[in-house]
């Protein structure tokens, strides 16, 4: 599979129009239904390649976009998600600078 191609498991005759938010591979047990003893086997069945991780992030983005950005009557929710996410990101990358500016009481 090259960059920009359809997934290998996608068949237009079976699945219909392509949906970037859908996983077309073989379905597996959802994480919420995995027992603690089976967790290692479940992790072992995951595809851990960089391409698979990028595809998972892309599917997550499209699911978020279909739910919050693309409805006919959208609200401020996607804007607030982006603002809060960027605030959290910049707080995390600047945390080392914030630690040194704390006010300590020496008594």
pTM for this one?
Answer: 0.76
For 77, residues 6+ apart whose C-beta sits below 8 A from its C-beta are 68
For 4, residues 6+ apart whose C-beta sits below 8 A from its C-beta are none
DSSP H helices in 1-107: 12-15, 39-44, 50-64, 77-93, 95-99
pLDDT tens per residue across span 46-70: 989 998 899 899 999 999 999 999 9
Question: What is the average pLDDT across 73-93?
Answer: 95
């Amino acid at each position: 599979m090259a960059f920009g191609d359809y997934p290998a498991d996608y068949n237009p005759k079976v699945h219909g129009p392509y949906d970037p938010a859908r996983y077309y591979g073989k379905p597996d047990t959802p994480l919420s239904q995995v027992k603690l003893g089976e967790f290692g086997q479940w992790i072992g069945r995951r595809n851990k390649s960089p391409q698979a991780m990028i595809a998972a992030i892309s599917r997550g983005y499209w699911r978020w976009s279909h739910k919050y950005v693309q409805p006919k009557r959208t609200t401020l929710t996607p804007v607030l998600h982006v603002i809060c996410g960027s605030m959290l990101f910049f707080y995390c990358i600047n945390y080392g600078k914030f630690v040194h500016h704390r006010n300590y009481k020496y008594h």
